[in-house]
Structure 1
Amino acid sequence: MIQKNQEYDVTIVDLTYEGMGVAKIDHYPLFIENTLPGEEVRIKVLKVGKKFGFGKVMEFYKTSPDRIPSEEKKWTQTGIAPLQHMRYEAQLAFKKRQVEECLHKMHCDEVQVHDTTPSPQQMHYRNKAQVPVRVVDGKMEVGFYRKNSHQFISIQNFGIQQEDIDDALQVIARILTEFGVSAYNEERHEGVLRHIIVRQGYYSKEMMVTLVTRKKKLFQGQQLAQRIIEEIPTVVSVMQNINDQKTNVIMGEKTICLAGKGRIEDEMLGHTFQISAPSFYQVNTPQAEAMYQKAIDLAHLSKDMIAIDAYCGIGTITLSVAPHVKEIYGVEVVAPAIDNAKENAKENEMTNVHFAVGKAEEVLPKWQEEGIQPDVVFVDPPRKGLARSFVETTIELAPEKIAYISCNPATFARDVALFKEAGYRLDEVYPYDMFPQTTHVECVGVLYKQN
């Protein structure tokens, strides 16, 4: 019987999707952070459940050839970089295996999974930071919570964020201290500042700072915002987002401009995009460009085709596809994103682009009634994948191709299996490492309708 606080000598036999090593004692699995397959370690059991437990390493007897020295203990403790101890080539292989196993579980073994495309940058690649704050010894500090706890850990170098963003966070924290802004206390639901969000254009270098506050009232908010702009020359926009809910959701619904302009600008695949505070925009710009280009290439587009972008956001995929097709229609449930998308189409002088607000599964049938019959449908859904109703709607529309960009191989494989049942086939899939040092993997594949 495995007992808490007992120590055991074990061999790591596998790695979970969360990047934790797996050891087994009498067929009972134990999950151990910062371990790799093949390693022999002494562990201490931290938690025992009915089906599995958790342990921590006390001593390494034998290490994996894929192990490299960890740069910063805090990155592992907070989950910022759970794979930082793993050689990058091994990370890529681990991510390919995730995609293969997800497809295997859905009986899609015939699909060829290519090697994971590496990120051009393995560190300092994120163009966006969302960090909670705490006042420590009278000073505002930024950081993250220790995994599975409410313990705040102050961090200066986040490792995976653009270095300009790390520097900006420290300056902003100092200014907030000088202005006497209090930090939000989630247990008591009091205090002012909940999060700082910093976003920087990869090409433009324009920076937007969003202060997420518990209430609209922010003492000397405009002066504070102006000071941020004065001290950080790349900041062109300081926004305030109000989130008065007792929730772990970061942003609320209302955003106001405190200083500068309400948007920042950046480029993707040669097109210019206006990005607002709540908009979704891929955090690893060069890798997103490579992934979108692969989807375009695999879809074999032509100038006589009609395309639909079903989760279009601010129009990054829509505008990237537009030069290759006759017409493209974008739909998105978030109205401000569609406002951005329309502005972006206008700024890029795209006349064959059309946008609508609403749920894709409701808008697509209306378009069909208007005589719009797509040859290809592009989808880039959130982690939960496609709604079943959307899959059914798309099957009824019967496009020749469905170009699927996914940030979750499990829901990707689930949706592929549904399309497969309806007569679509997926020949190959390309994994992309959008988030080096983490366990996440994105992938691209195009499903073809079989006649």
Structure 2
Amino acid sequence: MTKTIPVQKNDYIEVVFEDLTHDGAGVAKVDGYPLFVKNALPGEKAKIKVIKVNKGYGFGRLEEILEESPYRVDTPCPIYKECGGCQLQHLSYEGQLLAKEKQVRDVLTRIGKLENVKVHPVLGMSEPWRYRNKAQVPVGEREGGLIAGFYQQRSHEIIDMEACMIQQEKNDEVVQAVKRICTKYGVTAYNEQRHKGSLRHIMARHGQVTKEVMVVLVTRTPDLPNKERIVKEIVEAVEGVKSIIQNVNSKKTNVILGDETRVLWGEEVIYDLIGNVKFAISSRSFYQVNPAQTKVLYDQALSYAELTGEETVIDAYCGIGTISLFLAQKAKKVYGVEIVPEAIADANRNAELNEIDNVEFAVGEAEVVIPNWYKEGIVADVLVVDPPRKGCDDALLQTIIEMKPKKVVYVSCNPATLARDLRILEDGGYRTVEVQPVDMFPHTTHVECVALIELK
């Protein structure tokens, strides 16, 4: 017998919200039927309008809050409701940390069937604003010149912004200067429908410790009218600029960077430090956007690894060597593997930069390279994984189970895939000891975790 949906489109109803979705919407249930409502918070009673009804769930619009959450706050950002960059500014920072801890606990129980794993309170920031060291914003045009900002939620409408509350101020300065200077010299914005126009994106990178700045202009074609004048004025306008790069992306795509990169002025890289480890950062480098919390995250990984100087460590998904180089300071030998050749080139350069010689990096898929190392007799005492959002490849998980390192330290940017992978490792003879969430992205729904896993 088919269950009747208890609400219809355009109904006005009163609900009480009991949870948040992974993208920050409030969840209310009517006779067990979930309704997702943006900007609502758990514990709130509200009047909503039902705007969409699907078979298993629906969506509503918040009309009036009848009983407010004690964690609700006024949002300081003037474009918060339109912009898609943040999802949780209306929730106090204390409330955000509690919600993220609950999210981690819930997925470990629901997906991983792990009910007795210790989940620590989330490690948050003392100052959770202005933390991002990298801006990359699409460029558009309105009467009077260029605009740049994040897309409106679920659209490709650009919300022009003067400042972003989670960007370091220097990045705002770069974006405003490039908009003004490129408007002055008649640079056109890229139009994705017609595949015409020139400037697609503005990227700014800022070294939090070194204060060095990189400006990247992403264009549709190699031609950039008045290039020399534009470069000269950017250098004059933005203090600390060490590198101005042009990236050419001629494809019809949502991917930001194209294959061709050229230095217009200054250096190819800028530098920054996490702790006492120095990194060279190119326009294409993956480098954590919140360096203060990255140190918190890596210190936690290092603490769980409990290195004495005698261990062999394998770092799967090593990127530009950030975790590898942290671990190498305390390990006998570290092997890192990463599928992106440019990242491995950066990793080798960073090892050289820091005069760290007990690391070895390889290009390839972790699930292919690590079994080959195992056949060659390279066995990890500690294995560290820091996979993309999709989690670990199944072949890598099976290799870990076969290799039997005493300890696995799992750094995760997606609690759901972490829970899935922990279940596989548990079934393969491992025990999840504890999980430490770290808030790398305040005011968004994202949460990073470090999990300690030991051989039973």
Query: Normalization by structure 2: what TM-score?
Result: 0.95
Which of 433, 436, 440 pairs up with 2:446?
440
Identify the residue that residue 53 of structure 2 maps to in structure 1.
48
Worse-matched range after superposition: 158-167 or 76-85: 76-85
Give the SS at the match of 1:78. coil
Provide the rounded CA distance (Å) in 2 between the counterparts of 1:320 and 1:104.
32
Return the offset for 1:73.
Answer: 4.8
Matched, 1:286 2:292: yes
| Residue aligned with 1:434, SS | coil
Deviation at 1:387, TM superposition (A): 0.9
Contact 2:174–2:215 under 8 Å retained in 1: no
Distance 2:228 2:365 in 1: 37
Q: What's the secondary structure of 1:13's corresponding residue?
A: strand
| Bigger mean CA offset, 165-174 vs 359-368 | 359-368
SS in 2 for 1:391: helix
Pair 1:149 & 2:148 matched: no
Deviates more, 1:126-135 or 1:219-228: 219-228
Structure-2 separation of matches of 1:370 and 1:294:
30
2:93 pairs with 88, 91, 96, which one? Answer: 88
Q: Are positions 1:190 and 2:196 aligned together?
A: yes
Superposition map of 1:23-42 within 5 A: 23-42=28-47
1:99-126 per-residue CA deviation (whole Å, 9 max, x = no partner) reads 1111102111121000001124311111
* 1:421 lines up with 2:427 in the alignment: yes
RMSD: 1.5
The yes-or-no answer on 1:109 pairing with 2:115 is yes
Which residue matches 2:388?
382
How far did 1:303 drift?
A: 1.1
Distance (whole Å) between structure 2 residues aligned to residue 368 and residue 60 of structure 1: 59
Aligned-partner Cα distance in 1 for 2:401–2:258: 35
Does residue 277 of structure 1 match 2:290?
Answer: no
> For the Cα contact (< 8 Å) 1:80–1:158, is it kept in 2?
no
- Comparing 5-14 with 175-184, which one deviates more in the overlay? 5-14
**Structure 1, residues 374-407: CA drift from partner, whole Å, max 9, x if none?**
1111111111111111112222222111111110
Selected match of 2:359 from 346, 353, 377: 353
Instruction: Say which is worse superposed, 428-437 or 187-196, in terms of deviation.
Output: 187-196
Cα-to-partner distance string for 1:311-339 (whole Å, 9 max, x where unaligned): 11111111111110111111111111111
Higher mean C-alpha deviation, range 41-50 or range 80-89: 41-50
Structure 1 residue 443: deviation in Å? 0.4
Secondary structure of the 1:154 match is: coil
The letter of the residue matching 1:7 is Y
2:3 aligned residue: none
SS of the counterpart of 1:209?
strand
Map residues 326-341 of structure 1 onto 2, 5 A cutoff: 326-341=332-347
1:71-95 CA deviation, whole Å, 9 max, x = no partner?
2352232222211111111110110
What's the secondary structure of 1:255's corresponding residue? strand
Aligned mates of 2:453, 2:178 — CA distance in 1: 47
1:67 aligns with 2:72: yes
Aligned equivalents of 1:277 and 1:193: distance in 2?
16
Q: Residues 23-44 of structure 1, C-alpha deviation per residue, up to 9 Å, x if partnerless?
A: 2234332211111112122222
CA distance in 2 between partners of 1:3 and 1:213 (Å): 47
**What is the one-letter code of the residue matched to 1:315?**
G
CA contact (8 A) 1:95 1:116 kept: yes
Aligned to 2:325: 319
Whether the 8 Å CA contact 1:222–1:259 is kept in 2: the answer is: no
* Deviation of 1:257 (Å): 1.4
5 Å matches for 1:247-262?
Answer: 247-262=253-268
Corresponding letter in the other structure for 2:272: D
Q: How many residues are treated as equivalent by the alignment?
A: 450
SS of corresponding position for 2:136: strand
Alignment of 1:1-16 (within 5 A): 2-16=7-21
Q: CA deviation at 1:63?
A: 0.7
Question: Residue 301 of structure 2 corresponds to which residue in structure 1?
Answer: 295
TM superposition shift of 1:222: 4.2
Deviations 1:143-182 (A, max 9, x none): 1221112222111121111112112211111011112111
Give the SS at the match of 2:280.
strand
Instruction: Say which SS state the counterpart of residue 145 (structure 1) adopts.
Output: coil
CA contact (8 A) 1:322 1:350 kept: yes
Q: What is the letter of the counterpart of residue 244 of structure 1?
A: S
Tell me, in whole angstroms, the C-alpha distance in 1 between the residues paired with 2:229 and 2:151.
30
Per the TM alignment, residue 230 of structure 1 is displaced from its structure 2 partner at its CA by: 2.2
Aligned pairs for 1:392-411 (under 5 A) are 392-411=398-417
Aligned AA for 2:27? Answer: V
In structure 2, the CA distance between the partners of 1:64 and 1:365, relative to structure 1 (3 Å rule), is same
Q: Which runs of 5+ in 2 are unaligned?
A: 1-5
Contact 1:92 1:433 in 2 (8 A): yes
Given candidates 125, 139, 145, the residue that maps to 1:133 is 139
User: Between the two proteins, what is the percent identity of the paired residues?
Assistant: 47
8 A Cα contact 1:119 1:432, kept in partner:
no
Larger mean Cα displacement after TM superposition, 379-388 or 69-78: 69-78
Structure 2 CA distance for partners of 1:76 and 1:386, relative to 1, 3 Å: farther
- Kept in 2, the 8 Å contact 1:110–1:427? The answer is no
Offset of residue 200 of structure 1: 0.6
The aligned counterpart of 2:185 is 179
Cα deviation, 1:1-43, whole Å, max 9, x if unaligned, reads 5333332222222211211111223433221111111212222
| One-letter identity of the residue aligned with 1:16 | T
1-structure distance, mates of 2:33, 2:78: 28
SS of equivalent residue, structure 2 residue 357: coil
Q: State the secondary structure of the residue aligned to 2:80.
A: helix
| Residue range with higher mean Cα deviation, 219-228 or 160-169 | 219-228
Q: 3-state DSSP class of the match of 2:132?
A: coil
The range that moved more, 422-431 or 142-151, is: 142-151
Task: Give SS of 2:208's match.
Answer: coil
